[in-house]
Amino acid sequence: EKGGMHWEQLLADVEIQSTSGGGETSQVMWRSLRNPASAPWTTQEVEEAMRSRVACAAEEVKGLRGGPRVAALMQAQSLELAATGKAFAVLRKGGHLGVGSPLLFGLRCLARMSPAQKIEAVELYRAEGLVVGMCG
């Protein structure tokens, strides 16, 4: 816990599954870094958790400058997400990461990304009106 608030840290992991037609599908599963033995979260579960946090925070800070974006940033801090370039690509392809995406405000760590993916990530955050810095 940090400051009396429960924190959860989830790492996006890409699982590749074979299909009956001989093809493959990629699915992102989110694993807890605090409790690795726990069952993984689906992307839909993580999105719902982020939406709930954003909705609660929006009610609490209605009058603040920045409105819903400020609220989203404040509340998303209790759920930290990390993803690799591979997971980022699968999430983007599946429509789970974009402007207004509930996952966007929870992502704190992006690793092993190509230069093009880094530019894409920076542009997503800037489209939300945020100031962004990228290392590496």
The tokens for 21 are 């037609």
pLDDT for 1: 39
pLDDT for 49: 82
Lowest mean pLDDT across 20-29, 50-59, 96-105, 115-124 = 50-59
pLDDT above 80 for 56? no
The tokens for 127 are 């489209």
pLDDT above 80 for 47? yes
Q: Is the whole model's pTM more than 0.85, yes or no?
A: no
pLDDT for 68: 53
CA–CA separation, 43 vs 81, rounded Å?
A: 11
pLDDT digits (tens, 9 = 90+) for 106-125: 888 999 999 999 999 999 99
CB atoms within 10 A of CB 26: 14
CB atoms within 10 A of CB 43: 19
